[in-house]
Structure 1
Amino acid sequence: MKTAKYFFIIFALAFTNIYASSAKPTILPAYKNPTPGEFPILGWYSIPDSASTRQRYNEMREAGFNISFSHFTDNAQISRAAKACRGTGIKIIAGSPQLEASTKESIDSLKQYGEIAGWFLRDEPVVSGFGYLSQFRDSVYAADTTRLVYLNLFPRMVEPKNLGTATYDDYLREFLKQIRLPFISYDMYPVHETGNGEAVLQPMLFTNLESAQRVSREFGVPFWAFCLSTAHTPYPVARAAHLEVEAFSALAYGAQGIQYFTYWQPVSKTWNFYHAPIDKFGKRTDVYYLIRNLNKEIQALAPVFLGAEVISVSHTGKHIPDDTHRLTSLPMPFLTIDSDGPGVLVSHLHNNGKQYLMIVNRDIQNAQKVTLSIGSKKVRQIMPNGTTTKLSTTTPVIEPGRYVLYVWK
């Protein structure tokens, strides 16, 4: 991964005939939550083999993760990780050069481990590589159809011509048509640091969420999104508002998995990774505790978001992000929503017979006061710990990157 590379990508694309059929494929096996009863929360560049102990996986679980993705160099490392995480509540995504070279033999030797949540194919492929990855996918499913098969895609800020398509949406469509995996995963890191050290949120966060939601709905599959938890140029040290606006915006758009890049600080000769949740010495940083708090909140809200249907997502403000929709109507009993800042994200969701309205502050620097007009006393507010309470105000102040959440039947 990763994708300060966004600015330096050099591809030698073999522009072959791109899959042109407009017919949507039947994607089987269908998506199945790899962490039943919990919201999937995955850590990239997770615990290295040298630290693969039960204690370390318990520590990861304490931070609220339930899926670990380490970069294994062989199947023996996968086996050691599966044994180490047993009983901790952590499952692993398994990938190695051996898995790719000898897929059936590798899976046959490893699928005994219930701690394996899925098999990894590739990170950030372009369309010219989809044909090979489709064959790799078929080889994996020929050996095991009970687990997730995982592949992560480029974000929308990469030029479509470098991806091999006319538009970013077409890139997502080609992935689903050719590789036929039952969910979309992509990485987008929207908080950039300016020359004067100020953290700025790029509106592309919402533009990419629009594409992911649009195409995932079109094909009837879910999508997973990312938070950036490890600093590297031009991305700053993660702060609460940065992580929260990424996570809560994704949830408002219907994401069914939240991923972090990274959990453990990667070793790299190319990228200046620093200040990860677990640093290069294996010590917790303040980011570890920010993530622990955020993940606890996400799990508390799992009854709202896990399996939710997004009815609509829109934005308020003088200027709204490209390719998003301006708020023009609200579900009853909400009549009006106004804010005193640059604008908010408004999401209407449905889950298990209940209606939800989520309002996210798009500003990562300043709180926004929101003024609501509600035509019913039956609306209740959902608190960060998942409990519901009577409305105490119709003029909530939403802290940077955070939200308010309402429920009614």
Structure 2
Amino acid sequence: MQPAAAQERISASGDIPILAWYGIPAGQTSLARYEELKASGITYQFTNFPDAEAMAKALDIARKAGIKMIVACPELKTDTRNTVRRFMHHPAVAGYFLRDEPGKKDFPDLAEWAKKIQSVDKAHFCYLNLLPTYGAGALGTSTYREYVHTFIKTVPLQLLSFDHYPVVGDSLRWDWYDNLEVFSDEARKAGKPFWAFALTVSHGPYPIPTVAELKLQVFSDLAYGAQGIQYFTYWTPTGTQWDFHHGPITPEGKRSEIYDRIRTMNKEIKSLSGVFLGAKVVSVSHTGDSIPYGTKRLTTLPAPIKTLETKGKGAVVSVLKNGQNTFLVVVNRDFRQPMELTIHCDGGVKKVLKDGSLVPANAYLPTLEVDPGDMAVYQWTTP
């Protein structure tokens, strides 16, 4: 019997956006730096610029490198309409930054600001990050769901974003998956896409990120329906209360090992854009002896999947619909140990390889090992 060959590949309408949060500082603006950013697989950049002139210079450089930019400079607040008119036709502009991690008391002013920008430019998005569940003291609401729901009702943004850094020491925050549950559900109800984060710089209790930790964060985000991936940070910050270190680019402008780790991560994201970009979440559930707070246990499987069992800490099990394709995504929740996955499925089910190739699932053993933080993806066609 000849080994099965990958004869098909998933098609995509584009690539999942990948954003560098605190990307290249204004003082480091050069074509070489932006080409280095692009070579890592990052396609969007956000940095606060000191003035509109520095912003304009960076936009011109970004256009040459093929990077999209989120406009962030003081004039966007002090002279909103004229600043938007200045930049709105620039081919490197992706959107406009408002602020980071607002509480409920900030929502009315943010709504007014967003509407002012949108009165001039409806083609580009307004952007900010909402707080995570563990920012409870700053929410201004009694529950996290109320916080997200109130923001969506009050501030008319085209896309939603939140940050949550789950790997602390050698364990996961207890509320991370609850955060994903609530945020993805509220975004879905509002009919708006959302972007989510992975932590790429060590500080405080947060360790130097391994490939497995990056994969767990990114693949869990995508399994919950995220339409963009963001890295905090690209350039390692200085002059803060936090002891930031081991970002992809050091304060001195040298690459750390994290640069190569995100480059590896980004290749997989790009190759699998046909799975996740534009996908709609059908269901997300979990396996394991115990499942994370706020989540649902896996009880039913889509018809083409006959059995699914995991050994280890458990998995995220997501069903996504993307055009005529349905995908089953199984993410190993353990970023330290491999997980044994046993799956039996119909003959029409295919396994999606990390380069986007499709191979009949029955070409593989029914029981496979999934690396720490990694995922297995299966596909079938739905009329």
Give the TM-score of the pair, scaled to structure 1. Answer: 0.88
Structure 1 position 110, deviation (Å): 2.1
Structure 1 position 99, deviation (Å): 0.9
Residues in 1 aligned to 2:115 and 2:192: alpha-carbon distance in whole angstroms: 19
Aligned to 1:327: 298
Aligned to 1:165: 141
Aligned to 1:225: 196
CA contact (8 A) 2:41 2:263 kept: yes
Aligned to 2:39: 62
Equivalent position amino acid for 1:123 in 2: D
Structure 1 unaligned segments of length 5 or more: list them: 1-35, 194-198
Q: Which runs of structure 1 show a deviation greater than 3 angstroms over 4 or more consecutive aligned residues? A: none
Residue 96 of structure 1 pairs with residue 73 of structure 2: yes
Q: Could you say what secondary structure the match of 2:38 adopts?
A: helix
Structure 1 position 105, deviation (Å): 1.5
Structure 1 position 205, deviation (Å): 2.1
The alignment's C-alpha RMSD in Å is: 1.3
Structure 1 position 394, deviation (Å): 1.1
Residues in 1 aligned to 2:150 and 2:238: alpha-carbon distance in whole angstroms: 33
CA contact (8 A) 1:201 1:364 kept: no
Percent same amino acid at aligned positions? 40
What pairs with 1:184-195 in structure 2 (closer than 5 Å)?
Answer: 184-193=160-169
Structure 1 position 166, deviation (Å): 1.8
Residue 367 of structure 2 is aligned with which of 390, 395, 401?
A: 395
Structure 1 position 103, deviation (Å): 0.3
Q: Could you say what secondary structure the match of 1:55 adopts?
A: helix
Residues in 1 aligned to 2:296 and 2:342: alpha-carbon distance in whole angstroms: 20
Aligned to 1:178: 154
Residues in 2 aligned to 1:204 and 1:381: alpha-carbon distance in whole angstroms: 31
Residue 380 of structure 1 is aligned with which of 339, 350, 359?
A: 350
Structure 1 position 269, deviation (Å): 2.9
CA contact (8 A) 2:288 2:311 kept: no
Structure 1 position 57, deviation (Å): 0.8
Aligned to 1:366: 337
Aligned to 2:250: 279
Residues in 2 aligned to 1:114 and 1:323: alpha-carbon distance in whole angstroms: 42
Q: Could you say what secondary structure the match of 1:287 adopts?
A: helix
Residues in 2 aligned to 1:177 and 1:143: alpha-carbon distance in whole angstroms: 21
Residue 111 of structure 2 is aligned with which of 91, 112, 134?
A: 134
Residues in 1 aligned to 2:87 and 2:184: alpha-carbon distance in whole angstroms: 34
Structure 2 unaligned segments of length 5 or more: list them: 1-12
Residue 313 of structure 1 pairs with residue 281 of structure 2: no
Count of matched residue positions in the alignment of Structure 1 and Structure 2: 368
Residue 345 of structure 1 pairs with residue 321 of structure 2: no
Residue 404 of structure 1 pairs with residue 376 of structure 2: yes
Alignment deviations for residues 109-137 of structure 1 (CA, whole Å, 9 cap, x no partner): 22242111110001000000111111111
Alignment deviations for residues 166-223 of structure 1 (CA, whole Å, 9 cap, x no partner): 2111111111111111221000000011xxxxx2122422111101111011111111
Residues in 2 aligned to 1:304 and 1:394: alpha-carbon distance in whole angstroms: 22
CA contact (8 A) 2:197 2:217 kept: yes
Residue 336 of structure 1 pairs with residue 313 of structure 2: no
Distance 1:203 1:337, change over 3 A: farther
Aligned to 2:5: none
Structure 1 position 321, deviation (Å): 0.6
Structure 1 position 107, deviation (Å): 1.5
Residue 235 of structure 1 pairs with residue 206 of structure 2: yes
Residues in 1 aligned to 2:365 and 2:64: alpha-carbon distance in whole angstroms: 44
Residues in 1 aligned to 2:163 and 2:192: alpha-carbon distance in whole angstroms: 17
Aligned to 1:24: none
Structure showing greater relative contact order (alpha-carbon pairs closer than 8 Å, 6 or more residues apart): 2
CA contact (8 A) 1:94 1:118 kept: yes
Equivalent position amino acid for 2:39 in 1: E
Structure 1 position 337, deviation (Å): 1.4
Aligned to 1:107: 84
Residue 184 of structure 2 is aligned with which of 202, 213, 234?
A: 213
Structure 1 position 318, deviation (Å): 1.2
Aligned to 1:301: 272
Structure 1 position 87, deviation (Å): 2.7
Equivalent position amino acid for 1:72 in 2: F
Residues in 1 aligned to 2:65 and 2:149: alpha-carbon distance in whole angstroms: 37
Aligned to 1:29: none
Equivalent position amino acid for 1:170 in 2: E
Residues in 2 aligned to 1:235 and 1:112: alpha-carbon distance in whole angstroms: 40
CA contact (8 A) 1:40 1:256 kept: yes
Residues in 2 aligned to 1:178 and 1:371: alpha-carbon distance in whole angstroms: 46
Structure 1 position 145, deviation (Å): 1.1
CA contact (8 A) 1:266 1:280 kept: yes
